[in-house]
Amino acid sequence: MAVVVLSGVLLLVVLGCVCVFRDARGDGPRWVHVVAVVTLAAGEVVSRSGKRGRRGSGGSGGGGDDD
């Protein structure tokens, strides 16, 4: 069951990336632009949540990779 769910998520990610690429080239219908915007927004949300989690972890890494 987990393999089916993960395969579905992987398929959505790949299709979202294809839509972002086609939208950047400017050769796609309106729905490609909409999917590209949603994909980029979801990526931004995931990126910000990951940064927030690392900042509050309290580890003694000392690396400081805050871009």
**What pLDDT shows up at residue 4?**
95
Q: Give the Å distances, CA to CA, from 30 to 27, 34, 35, 54.
A: 10, 7, 9, 37
Whether residue 25 is predicted with pLDDT greater than 70 in this model: the reply is: yes
Residue range 12-23: mean pLDDT, rounded: 93
Q: Which one has a higher pLDDT value, 40 or 66?
A: 40
* DSSP code at position 61: -
Residue 27: its pLDDT value, please?
Answer: 82
To the nearest whole number, what is the mean pLDDT of the chain?
84
pLDDT per position as a tens digit, 45-66: 988 888 776 655 555 555 555 5
Structure tokens at 43: 């990526």
